[in-house]
Amino acid sequence: MFKKLKIWREERGIQNTVGNIELNIYEELLELMGLPKDLIRDLKLDFEKNILPFAYEMPITDKIDALDDLRVFSVNAIEAYGYDAEKTMDETIKEISSRAGAYNETTQKWEKFKTDEAKALWYKADYSKCKRL
């Protein structure tokens, strides 16, 4: 998993880019809740305007601790749902690797190209083959 993600970052030239990690994680949490895209957009704007300005600098080790906690929660949940977390990550990496795009300095995020030509090359992760028996 880690080697594949490293290659993915290197191919996109984002190996040393953190971006707006708090906003990106917040967006993924909103998606996890199944909220509609327009509501997610509005909540992200609210978060950016009303929450992020109150964030403070903290030691990098505290940030790593929080990020690793998120990874532990994620893997535990995937496994509890009856899926093999390594296999689901392989599928996710195949999906994100199939997308052409570029890093957007404004959003501080890798953004996939959404042209018809780009979409024709997208792979959709097949998590059904990741179900544990």
Residue ranges of the domains in the chain?
2-130
Cα 69–chain centre separation: 15
Measure the CA angle with vertex 92, ends 90 and 94; round to 5°. 70
Per-residue pLDDT of the chain (133 residues; tens, 9 = 90+): 788 888 888 888 887 777 788 988 999 999 999 999 999 999 999 999 999 999 888 999 999 999 999 999 999 999 999 999 999 999 999 998 899 888 888 887 888 899 999 999 999 999 999 999 8
Cα 73–chain centre separation: 14
Q: At what angle do helices 21-32 and 37-50 cross, to 10 degrees?
A: 150
- Sign of torsion over alpha carbons 55, 58, 60, 66: negative
Please give the torsion angle defined by the CA atoms of residues 56, 75, 36 and 20, in that order, rounded to the nearest 10 degrees. Answer: 30
